[in-house]
Amino acid sequence: MIKFNEKQQFDSVKGALALRPQIEKAADDIYKKGFDKIFFIGIGGTYASSMQVVHHVKEMSKLEVYVEHAAEFIASGNKHITKDSLIVYSSVTGTTQEVVEAVKILKEIGCTIMAFVDEPDSQLAKMGDYLVSYVLNEQLKFFMFMDRLMFLNGEFDDYDDMYAEFDTYLPQALVDVEVKADAFAQVFAQKHHNDDIHYFVGAGNQWGATYSYAMCYWEEQHWIKTKSIHATEFFHGMFEIVERDTAVTIFVGEDTQRGLSKRVVDFIPRICGNYEVIDSKDYELAGISEKYRGHISHLVMMAVNRRIDAHIEKINCHPVEIRRYYRQLDY
Amino acid sequence: MIKFNEKQQFDSVKGALALRPQIEKAADDIYKKGFDKIFFIGIGGTYASSMQVVHHVKEMSKLEVYVEHAAEFIASGNKHITKDSLIVYSSVTGTTQEVVEAVKILKEIGCTIMAFVDEPDSQLAKMGDYLVSYVLNEQLKFFMFMDRLMFLNGEFDDYDDMYAEFDTYLPQALVDVEVKADAFAQVFAQKHHNDDIHYFVGAGNQWGATYSYAMCYWEEQHWIKTKSIHATEFFHGMFEIVERDTAVTIFVGEDTQRGLSKRVVDFIPRICGNYEVIDSKDYELAGISEKYRGHISHLVMMAVNRRIDAHIEKINCHPVEIRRYYRQLDY
């Protein structure tokens, strides 16, 4: 398998799960102090991850949790954010300009800041009242944090049981997904590496990932045009441009919105002969109980997509590190 | 001018503004009774209009106002919606399947229902505790309703003054926009009627309109591929696929997020030679004070876009009424 280091992948997830005592300590402390609302602040990929975790919480909880776009906040403000609000963000570099500016304002308001930043010496790391610093696994870190808060709020009885399973089985389960997906991913990449435009459809805790996979991977890293569309919105306009040869991929997860994506899967063969379905249910996830699969189906999808990316990068001879414009030009 | 009836356009807006006593009566009654939160329920085009008004309120108010997607609500619920919540929706036909189903659930919860439905005898009209029935002008109706609630909430001192101006000047001002825009729109349509894909960029109270114009007009009615992108997100991935010949239109409004769209306008000439800018500021709006222009720049944009649509329809010999799939097939 190209661009795949099994041990490294395993250790990456294992290490993220091992952050739990540290994340719980922060969450417990924050919950004890209290807050009015929680705002996940992001932009681009971190905005997308924020949408995912906010959807996840909305499915289960009465906690008031919202996504706030960093640049929109700077421009328009948000009168619901107070000194009692909890701000959560994630950043790899810890230097994203719009997020830095937004957090400066939020600190002046007096919000409590929970920071997940890969680079511990960066500006965004230092701005956190609480900091968890560990590479990658953004969604997992967000979900762990909010799951703990929901547990403390009396809304997640299975919390300990679920994470005991994840600690034991999840790292290997996700490695197994990549291994199983690789042959499919190669065929997929061969077929779609030169698409004029590729449509990605998703829902639920997958929607943020659908938006982000289209934009932050295919557009930003592979330079292939895409449009992402929510499975429910697909039927309200967008599908009129789908014909026999339109390239469409539908992500199907296992949370409450599985049915919304399945509706597209059931319909699309009537109008399109060039579609793909990636369904997290097709992957075993040994050791993970049925009832917890919906919580991690976005991680399954990400593992499959990682394989597709590896093959597209190779076929297109286009290193995913290169950018035309992002951080190359002033804007 | 093709497909343009000045009197009909004038009367349409005039008639919508004349709904104000009726809208105020409903708003006053609802405000007096009280509510915990307000949820705009929509799907497709009405989801987009909901995003616009919710953004508008967020700029000015502490009222808790959110967009809830009808189909997502049916699938996932929303634990923040209670018997004390106010539900607002708009529908042309009054029969949109997902909205009907969602409102049935919301009525069982015991929410108060404010309905704007063009067809007064339809199912969604009959489900409203309050009903305003008038054709078209969805955004104007939404904004009038929420502006009144913000006024009652002590957050809109200029309310009477602004609507006095709108009553007197807005119908003609919007007609004038269409007349002025027509020549530009014809050139635009000539240049872009056959684009492989067209990108629309917007922000602020324009963002919902950007999303909707791309999807509900170009995709659904003209069968031309599009992608809509928020002006801030443009710089976080998507712009990597923009090259010399990529067709991009940037909508620039006059609310707090004008600067976000302007940033794209300032940057794009460096990487693209096939872009268009539609700036509401280029239109006079005689009689409307500077400070109120931001409240209606989305209506200016809609007037310009109406001219573009008329010309594309003609050039492409593609009647905008026809659908391949929407309400033609079961799905």
Decide: A160 and A148 in contact? Cβ < 8 Å.
no
Average pLDDT over residues B125-135: 98
Mean pLDDT of B292-314: 98
* Two domains, one topology: B6-152 and B178-316: yes
Contacts of B325 (CB under 8 A, 6+ apart): A239, A240, A242, A271, B331
pLDDT tens per residue across span B40-61: 999 999 999 999 999 999 999 9
User: Between helices A138-152 and A159-192, what is the axis angle to 10°?
Assistant: 150
Indicate the residue type of A157.
D
Q: Let me know if A45 is exposed, middle or buried by CB neighbors in 10 A (0-12, 13-18, 19+).
A: buried
B residues 99-158 lying closer than 8 A (beta carbon) to A: none
Question: Looking at residue A197, what is its pLDDT?
Answer: 98
pLDDT one-digit tens code per residue, B205-224: 999 999 999 999 999 999 99
Residue carrying structure tokens 């929510």:
A230
pLDDT in tens, A81-122: 999 999 999 999 999 999 999 999 999 999 999 999 999 999
Chain B nearest C-alpha distance from A220 (Å):
4
Among B69, B80, B78, smallest CA distance to B42 is for B69
pLDDT at A91: 97
Please give the pLDDT value at position A246. Answer: 98
Sequence ranges of the domains in chain B: 6-152, 178-316
pLDDT, one tens digit per residue, over A37-80 is 999 999 999 999 999 999 999 999 999 999 999 999 999 999 99
Q: Please, what is the average pLDDT of chain A?
A: 98
Residue A323 token pair: 């950018």
Provide the shortest C-alpha distance from residue B258 to chain A (in Å): 9
For residue B69, the model assigns a pLDDT of 98
- Which has the closest alpha carbon to A41: A66, A22, A60, A69? A69
Q: What is the structure's pLDDT at B200?
A: 98
pLDDT at B236: 96
pLDDT of residue A203: 98
Cβ within 8 Å, pair A260-B72: yes
Contacts of B219 in chain A (CB under 8 A): 237-238, 240-241
Q: What is the mean pLDDT of chain B?
A: 98
The band of A282, judged by pLDDT with boundaries at 50, 70 and 90, is very high
Q: Tell if the CB–CB gap between B61 and A77 is shorter than 8 Å.
A: no
Query: Which residues, in sequence order, are bridge partners of residue B200?
Result: B228, B249
CB B269 within 8 A of CB B242: no
Mean pLDDT of B18-24: 98
Q: How many helices (H) and strands (E) does chain B have?
A: 11, 9
> Minimal CA–CA distance to B226: which of B202, B248, B245?
B248
Closest CA to B247 of B294, B201, B290, B293: B201
Q: Which CATH class is domain A6-152?
A: alpha beta
Residue A102 backbone zone (phi > 0: left; psi -120 to 50: alpha; other: beta): alpha
pLDDT exceeding 90 applies to what percent of chain A?
100
Can you spell out the DSSP letters for B14-39? Answer: HHHHTTHHHHHHHHHHHHHH--S-EE
Contacts of B134 (CB under 8 A, 6+ apart): B15, B16, B19, B116, B118, B141
Residues in B 81-100 with any Cβ partner in A closer than 8 A = 98
The DSSP secondary structure of A9-51, one letter per residue, reads HHHHHHHHHTTHHHHHHHHHHHHHH--S-EEEEE-THHHHHHH
B residues 238-277 lying closer than 8 A (beta carbon) to A: 238-242, 255-257, 259-260, 263, 266-267, 270-271
Residue range B71-101, pLDDT digits in tens: 999 999 999 999 999 999 999 999 999 999 9
Return the SS3 of A74: helix
Q: Check A236 against B329: CB less than 8 A apart.
A: no
Residue B71 with chain A: CB contacts under 8 Å:
232, 260
Query: pLDDT digits over A131-144, tens only?
Result: 999 999 999 999 99
pLDDT at B120: 97
Residue B179's H or E segment, with its range, is helix B159-192
Show the DSSP H helices in chain A as ranges.
Answer: 6-17, 20-33, 45-60, 70-76, 97-109, 123-126, 138-152, 159-192, 207-212, 258-267, 293-316
What percentage of chain B has pLDDT greater than the value 90?
100
For chains A and B, CB pairs below 8 A equal 173
Confidence of residue B292 (pLDDT cuts 50, 70, 90): very high
Token pair recorded at residue A66:
């919202």
CATH 3.30.450.90 fits B178-316, yes or no: no
Domain A174-316 in CATH: superfamily? Glucose-6-phosphate isomerase like protein; domain 1 (3.40.50.10490)
Q: Give tens-digit pLDDT for B132-191.
A: 999 999 999 999 999 999 999 999 999 999 999 999 999 999 999 999 999 999 999 999
